[in-house]
Structure 1
């Protein structure tokens, strides 16, 4: 189980090749408070940053500051909801539901899709298709004790995955696993971690720690970069090397907690750990009703269908519940009018 489905490093480099330093601005005035079932298109909007979300409000029909009343957040091919896991304690708990209307559609059919050709089907989604309230979910943190590993075959460390960690002493750090070594009998020989401690608002240099469990559970202090004998709040992570565990868990009793680091900036380029919207009391992964993966057939896009490293809109439809209002949403393109990546266009309509 991976913490999140990712493109390969090479693919991400291609998708990010056109990104620039332009401000996160939208295409201009939107359509505030459209009529029920009125389909509105907005974009291309500049979500080309690899590390900064931009925020959209259904009420104004435009991009708004993070501090405003927003519903959706965009970053390249990622679509997030205003939830505690993304917006923090002041979030409005926007909910979503994937209709999966094109989940089983062939790649050839996706390549043939256009906004015009799919409009009638989109327009046909009305109030009757709204599921029961308990079917809606929001973006949330879930537990994945083995999120630091690739579990296909013999487990290997996945250094692309890292976490922002609130330590047991109340300070912050980022950490990742870079290697796991097994004995000939497939017991864990050594787990290698890297971490960077935050001082003030700055992350420090990388420190490396080798953990030799010798078939026993080990407590780890990132604050001192050492394996310790656990006593109260002197440790931050616990490693269980048992074959049916291979788990990393924070020191929950001392309020340690984790938040998954984004795809970008990567571990080496991260600048702060204390800015997470929330810290879960487990090794966490961020999941939601709109998949953050171009490998998931329920996601807004499919990848590399013509061997040219491009994203193609799948025209999957999502229902988004903001307060008592329900909207239908599609992402219809990933590129600007001049072909620059990371400029999605959306269309939506309020259906309740």
Structure 2
């Protein structure tokens, strides 16, 4: 029996919470008539994470400073645990309810399910007890490009995923590019690292709102050793990763990891970021990297920097760009948050993210609800 994971709660108090930190209209909602199994005595909070990271203490419901006692950190779409690469705490997480019905057999979002789902309709997933997870996760580095750009194939060869692309923001933060990976060849069993790559960029120079109409290519430089290589798409040249501060995209391999990085967050000191992946059939029709072709709305805030995370990157809380609209739809997954993975008596919480748009309609204001729960084994 795993003593760490057998944590039981005292019932949450049904009290009203004052607005705090970056939130508004924050309260603990009333009880559902379901015998106490789900929907009862939960906290609900809107967090204004549009401009800066907000740090939440789940026990108090208060937004605190970055050096305070926090469990979760929010910055627009990003959610972090206070552990590993994100903080000096011991917070761990797991998925309590996958909400698999929001996706088809191929893992693609079910449009009708996402569009038709409501916070009230998905409240019954917020139960008072959950089985002990098979494993817990702490935070690590998360790249804005994600890991959906490559695939592990026959013979241990990693190659590019075809027919997708990305929008990329430069290190300076004032120019952009449309990017696709035409070739990525990493024969993992040869021991020589990445053998070849070809990334194609169409640049939107600073001060403009239109892609240039011509492309520049980033291929492995002369004397490439199979590790890291960097590209400045404004200049259209490969640059030295160690000495350049203006690189925009880094492709590489180290240890057991291969990656694409933007010059941002834990990856670099710049203001870079990325948006995607987007099907190439759709992305190839874009005339701007900062304006939505269909709606005329700005895409600037949709770019994500490299960050730290783990659970919420591996099991995202939303689907993006449904119906060709650059908006987010929550999948109402339930996450389990262990407030101290080394203390068997520390509380564990169930948490859902139920909205991303504030009462003013602006993005970057995640609304969450959570409650203290207990964990059960098959013996109980």
TM band (smaller chain): 0.5 to 0.7
1:63-142 mapped onto 2 (5 Å cutoff): 63-87=63-87, 91-105=88-102, 106-122=110-126, 125-132=127-134, 135-141=135-141
Match of 1:40 in 2: 42
CA contact (8 A) 1:99 1:319 kept: yes
CA contact (8 A) 1:57 1:63 kept: yes
d(CA) in 2 for partners of 1:312, 1:130: 28
5+ residue gaps, structure 1, are: 1-22, 164-177, 193-208, 229-234, 238-245, 251-257, 271-283, 293-297
Q: 1:264 to 1:288 in 2, by over 3 A?
A: closer
Match of 1:316 in 2: 333
Q: 1:263 to 1:307 in 2, by over 3 A?
A: farther
Q: 1:342 to 1:67 in 2, by over 3 A?
A: same
The alpha-carbon deviation at position 59 of structure 1 amounts to 2.0
CA contact (8 A) 2:347 2:372 kept: yes
The alpha-carbon deviation at position 140 of structure 1 amounts to 1.7
Give the secondary-structure state (helix, strand or coil) at the position aligned to 1:109.
helix
Stretches (4+) displaced over 6 A:
28-31, 156-159, 178-182, 189-192, 217-221, 263-267
d(CA) in 2 for partners of 1:110, 1:126: 25
Give the secondary-structure state (helix, strand or coil) at the position aligned to 1:111.
helix
d(CA) in 2 for partners of 1:261, 1:227: 13
d(CA) in 1 for partners of 2:42, 2:101: 26
Give the secondary-structure state (helix, strand or coil) at the position aligned to 1:70.
coil
1:144-203 per-position Cα deviation (integer Å, ceiling 9, x unaligned): xx98x865268x99894999xxxxxxxxxxxxxx99999xxx9759999xxxxxxxxxxx
Count residues in correspondence.
242
Q: 1:212 to 1:99 in 2, by over 3 A?
A: same
d(CA) in 1 for partners of 2:165, 2:327: 29
5+ residue gaps, structure 2, are: 1-19, 29-35, 103-109, 151-158, 172-178, 184-193, 201-217, 231-237, 244-250, 273-305, 341-345, 375-380
CA contact (8 A) 1:130 1:319 kept: no
Give the secondary-structure state (helix, strand or coil) at the position aligned to 1:335.
coil
TM-score with structure 2 setting the length: 0.49
Match of 1:9 in 2: none
d(CA) in 2 for partners of 1:227, 1:116: 52
Match of 1:152 in 2: 160
Q: 1:157 to 1:322 in 2, by over 3 A?
A: same
Match of 2:246 in 1: none
Q: 1:268 to 1:67 in 2, by over 3 A?
A: closer
CA contact (8 A) 1:190 1:212 kept: no
Q: 1:36 to 1:61 in 2, by over 3 A?
A: farther
d(CA) in 2 for partners of 1:191, 1:101: 34
Q: 1:187 to 1:351 in 2, by over 3 A?
A: closer
Verify: 1:27 aligned to 2:35, yes or no: no
d(CA) in 2 for partners of 1:314, 1:219: 36
d(CA) in 2 for partners of 1:342, 1:227: 34
Give the secondary-structure state (helix, strand or coil) at the position aligned to 1:117.
coil
Q: 1:63 to 1:236 in 2, by over 3 A?
A: same
Give the secondary-structure state (helix, strand or coil) at the position aligned to 2:115.
helix
Q: 1:188 to 1:305 in 2, by over 3 A?
A: closer
d(CA) in 2 for partners of 1:128, 1:61: 22
The alpha-carbon deviation at position 345 of structure 1 amounts to 0.5
1:110-150 per-position Cα deviation (integer Å, ceiling 9, x unaligned): 2222121221232xx23342325xx111112489xx98x86
Give the secondary-structure state (helix, strand or coil) at the position aligned to 1:99.
strand
